[in-house]
Amino acid sequence: MAVSWSVSRLSGLLGACCLLAASQTQAAEPPVLMSPAWTANFCQAWNQTPELAKGLSGEWLHDDKGRGYKIVQMYRDDCGAASTVELKIVPKDGQAWCSYGGAPNTPADFGVDFLMHATTANWEAMGRGDPGPMWAMMSGKLQFQGPKLVAMRAIKPFASFLLLLGKVPGSAATCPGG
């Protein structure tokens, strides 16, 4: 009887371990690329990237019509404009700090804010550094709306932005919300 109880208990423990391992595997899957959850992760990664946090703290950040923030919106062309996500960038301790990443909740003014969109394949290529930011915009691989002169003067930090896209884990197998 003691042997039976031990086998039964061991079987239960193994089952619990298998369920736990399965749930951890599911939890470890990255969020969908450019979903609100992925964008929240991207926002955190922005704050840990000196080329963005410090590199965009000057003219780029302060060209905001006195609002005290800058909006960057983006989406994957093959998922449609309805899948747009946003980053809200604010000044904090002398840096361009990402205070929010997720579904759009702040009206954008493309006189000072930015909207970028590209195919999933092009976003992934830009995240690998191929092509660089100037070529991506000039070749049409990245569609861009916003103050182009301000963006051009921030081309080095923008290169870090594109590379960060490839560093934040995300699954491109489906579209956000799909």
The reply to whether 43 and 87 lie within a common domain is: yes
The reply to whether 16 and 77 lie within a common domain is: no
Tell me the pLDDT band of 5, cut-offs 50, 70 and 90: very low
Round to whole Å and give the CA distance between 69 and 80: 26
Tell me the pLDDT band of 27, cut-offs 50, 70 and 90: low
Nearest to residue 30, comparing CAs of 17, 16, 20, 45? 45
The reply to whether 40 and 25 lie within a common domain is: no
The reply to whether 26 and 40 lie within a common domain is: no
> Each residue of 124-161: pLDDT tens digit?
999 998 877 778 877 888 999 999 889 888 989 999 99
> Each residue of 43-91: pLDDT tens digit?
999 999 999 999 999 999 999 999 999 999 999 999 999 999 999 999 9
The reply to whether 115 and 159 lie within a common domain is: yes
**Above 50 in pLDDT, residue 11?**
no
User: Does residue 147 have a cis peptide bond before it, meaning omega lies within 30 degrees of 0?
Assistant: no
Structural domain includes residue 131: yes
The reply to whether 137 and 94 lie within a common domain is: yes
The reply to whether 94 and 40 lie within a common domain is: yes
HSE of 24 in the Cβ direction (CA atoms, 13 Å)? 6
Q: Domain count of the chain? A: 2
**Domain of 40?**
36-167
The reply to whether 102 and 118 lie within a common domain is: yes
Question: What is the SS3 string spanning 68-121?
Answer: CCEEEEEEEHHHCHHHCEEEEEEEECCEEEEEEEECCCCCCCCCCCEEEEECHH
- pTM score, whole prediction: 0.82
Tell me the pLDDT band of 104, cut-offs 50, 70 and 90: very high
Residues near 111 by beta carbon (within 8 Å), at least 6 away in sequence: 65, 147
Q: Any idea what the CATH number is for the domain that residue 151 is in? A: 3.30.1050.10
Percentage, residues of the chain above pLDDT 90: 70
What was the pLDDT predicted at 26?
53
Strand (E) or helix (H) holding 156: helix 155-167
The reply to whether 18 and 94 lie within a common domain is: no
> Each residue of 35-45: pLDDT tens digit?
999 999 999 99
What one-character DSSP code corresponds to residue 31?
P
The reply to whether 122 and 68 lie within a common domain is: yes
The reply to whether 42 and 26 lie within a common domain is: no
